[in-house]
Amino acid sequence: MKYLLFSKLYKYLAKPVFFMFDPEDMHDFFTSAGEFLGKYSLLKKLTKSAFRYDNKFLVQKVSEVKFSNPIGLAAGFDKDARLTKILPDVGFGFETIGTVTQNAYSGNPKPRLHRLPNSRGIVVNYGLKNIGAEKIVNNIKKIKHEFPIIVSIGKTNAKYTSKGTAGIKDYYDCMLQFEKANIGDIYEINISCPNTFGGEPFTTPAKLDKLLSQLKKIRTTKPVFIKMPINLSWRQFDSLLKITVKYKFTGVTIGNLNKDHKDKLIVDNLPKMKGGISGKPTEKLSNELIRKTYEKYRDKLIIIGVGGVFSANDAYEKIKCGASLVALITGIIYEGPQLIGQINKELVKLMKTDGFSNITEAVGSYYRD
């Protein structure tokens, strides 16, 4: 009942006001507000009481990392690890910080965000804006985190990293810095951000092979996922999966932003700005690739599903297609902060209806005998 109330309040009162303001200004405001809430135990308790939902049906281990629930914050919102203290109270089961790069980047020229309300998406052109690996490591060192943290690692958005060897070294140095500091529970290698200098340099098999062969030299015991592009044919996509399996990385995150500005799911007039598109226009592409990846690779690759999650049914679809974890950003912007608890509560109902007693039983259930 409380989630329905919060949903109505957000939809009819809060969101119309928030959407009057510049989306990047609102992002910065909510990041600062969340950071403030996370500093005080009373405010954390009030937030938890309002939003969080827990149930043993949702608890699982993914590659030996324990998750209280499968719904996380995707990379791209908490760029500098400022929200790790409040997000568990909002109800998230994990978060992906960053994408973090070895050196800081102030971001692409503004505007960098544009809402597509009829398409339920956002044009995103930040270009891996972040304060750099060293400062983010120090930020997280100060915090006793209450849930798993995935560190999204990319290459610094600069001309000097656009050449293959320099770009690989940048990834390597960034990941090594987190590994030496023992920061983060999982690494996610972002090979597919479309908004950086030189485009997506590691989304061909030969170049990805060179990158992963070097990163494999970092002898980490932590799970490592590869963040995948979604605007590829299955043949092209599978060629990247084969490289990931070759080097025995843990899994893949499917996937990144939709680069196709002519996608029929985009019904708004697009602004004259570069950028990938988040939200509902990514959902169909993401689900299809999750489905095919799980069907072919099963236990060889664990999948984190991202793209177009606005409800429990959306999340459950990704899980049944083969995703062990599901992450979102755009859904909470359009639906409100109660969405995470709402999804988790309704996931339990959906699982019970299907006869499952734990989330692990639902993963890939479309392909179970």
**Lowest pLDDT segment from 10-14, 105-109, 247-251:** 105-109
pLDDT value of residue 303: 99
**Lowest pLDDT segment from 13-27, 185-199, 243-257, 280-294:** 185-199
Label residue 272 by pLDDT band (50, 70, 90). Answer: confident
Report field, pTM of the whole predicted structure over 0.75? yes
pLDDT value of residue 200: 59
**Lowest pLDDT segment from 132-141, 163-172, 233-242, 274-283:** 163-172
pLDDT value of residue 273: 86
pLDDT value of residue 195: 54
Q: Which amino acid is located at 261 in the chain?
A: H
Q: What is the mean pLDDT of residues 44-73?
A: 98
User: Is the per-residue pLDDT at 198 higher than 70?
Assistant: no
pLDDT value of residue 232: 95
- pLDDT per residue over 316-339, tens digit each? 999 999 999 999 999 999 999 999
Q: Domain 2-367 carries which CATH code?
A: 3.20.20.70
- Cα separation of the two ends of the chain: 36
User: Is the per-residue pLDDT at 145 higher than 90?
Assistant: no
- pLDDT per residue over 286-322, tens digit each? 999 999 999 999 999 999 999 999 999 999 999 999 9
As a whole number, the mean pLDDT across the chain is 94
120: alpha, beta or left, given left = phi > 0 and alpha = psi -120 to 50? left
Residue with more model confidence, 52 or 369: 52
User: Is the per-residue pLDDT at 199 higher than 60?
Assistant: no
User: Is the per-residue pLDDT at 196 higher than 70?
Assistant: no
Q: Long-range contacts made by residues 166-173, C-beta under 8 angstroms, separation at least 24?
A: 167/198, 167/201, 167/202, 167/211, 168/210, 168/211, 168/214, 170/101, 170/102, 170/103, 171/102, 171/211, 171/214, 171/215, 172/214, 172/215, 172/217, 172/218, 173/102, 173/133
Label residue 197 by pLDDT band (50, 70, 90). Answer: low
CB 76 within 8 A of CB 99: yes
pLDDT value of residue 368: 75
User: Is the per-residue pLDDT at 255 higher than 60?
Assistant: yes
User: Is the per-residue pLDDT at 3 higher than 90?
Assistant: yes
Cα-atom radius of gyration of the chain, to the nearest Å?
19
**Lowest pLDDT segment from 70-84, 149-163, 234-248, 331-345:** 149-163
